[in-house]
Amino acid sequence: MIYEIRTYNARPYSVPGYEKRFAEAYETRVKYGASLWGWWHTEIGPLNQMVHIWAYESLQQRADVRTAALKDPSGKWPPQPGDELLSQENDILLPVPGMTEMPGEQAWGSVYELRMYTYAPGDLAKVTPAYAAAIAARNAAYPMAGIFTSDLGNLNRLYQLAPYRDWAHREAVRAELREKHLWPPATDARPVSQLVRHLVPAAFSPLH
């Protein structure tokens, strides 16, 4: 399984309008085999961003789905263009060993925390085993939606997507993890940069 994370930077106040149009169109891709994992917009961090994650069996399946959706007679894909989007970025991700594959629809909470750590070249090989070994204990406190490393696009990135029921629940979970020394796992490498975004799931997001 591979995952594609896409980040859209939008004009201020334009996110609701674009999400509405996307909600009306994305099933066109789904019927050809695409699996929308989740769709969110930023609440804290770089504002006016929309983040969505798709799951595929392979890069070839991703290419086949894109081709088929573009040829769909409904003409619904891609969503009809507007002036909302300023830029787009995507990475192809691999799940860290031990991560639960494709959880499907889950009602995990109203707050999603997306952490993106960038490491020096070669350091992810030191980091990934430590995260893989700690996933089960982290999930016992509250399930992680996903932990990934970038394979194509922007390299040397580690992504962590953690849901919480609300802000109070986030503080309680993080306090438990610190008290029991469960997370984050100790590693021999430090990231060279970190970005944390707090996200709100869209009404149509399978993870919400």
Position 154 in a domain: yes
Q: Are 42 and 49 in contact (CB under 8 A)?
A: yes
**What does the pLDDT read at residue 82?**
84
Position 11 in a domain: yes
CATH code of the domain containing 9: 3.30.70.100
Helix (H) or strand (E) holding 54: strand 49-56
Position 207 in a domain: no
Query: pLDDT of 98-113, one tens digit each?
Result: 887 756 788 999 999 9
As a 3-state breakdown, the chain gives helix, strand, coil percent values, each rounded to 5, of 30, 35, 40
Q: What is the Cα–Cα distance from 143 to 160, expressed in whole angstroms?
A: 12
DSSP 8-state secondary structure symbol assigned to residue 111: E
Does 171 score more than 80 pLDDT? yes
Beta bridge partners of 201: 40
Helix (H) or strand (E) holding 14: none
Give 27's pLDDT tier (boundaries 50, 70, 90): very high
**What does the pLDDT read at residue 103?**
60
Q: What is the Cα–Cα distance from 134 to 66, expressed in whole angstroms?
A: 35
How far from the centroid of its chain's Cα atoms is residue 50's Cα?
Answer: 10
| The two structure tokens encoding residue 125 | 């090989």
Q: Are 55 and 5 in contact (CB under 8 A)?
A: no
DSSP 8-state secondary structure symbol assigned to residue 107: -
DSSP 8-state secondary structure symbol assigned to residue 71: T
Mean pLDDT across 82-109: 89
Does 11 score more than 70 pLDDT? yes
Position 86 in a domain: yes
**What does the pLDDT read at residue 104?**
72
**What does the pLDDT read at residue 197?**
98
Query: pLDDT of 147-161, one tens digit each?
Result: 999 999 999 999 999
Give 37's pLDDT tier (boundaries 50, 70, 90): very high
**What does the pLDDT read at residue 102?**
59
First to last CA, the chain: 22
Contacts of 38 (CB under 8 A, 6+ apart): 52, 53, 112, 145, 201, 205, 206, 207, 208
Query: pLDDT of 43-59, one tens digit each?
Result: 999 999 999 999 999 99
**What does the pLDDT read at residue 105?**
87
Mean pLDDT across 135-142: 93
What are the two backbone dihedrals, phi and then psi, of residue 149, each rounded to the nearest 5 degrees? Answer: -120, 150
Query: Residue 82 belongs to what domain range?
Result: 2-201
Mean pLDDT across 166-195: 95
Domains identified in the chain, total number: 1
Give 75's pLDDT tier (boundaries 50, 70, 90): confident
Position 188 in a domain: yes
**What does the pLDDT read at residue 166?**
96
Position 208 in a domain: no
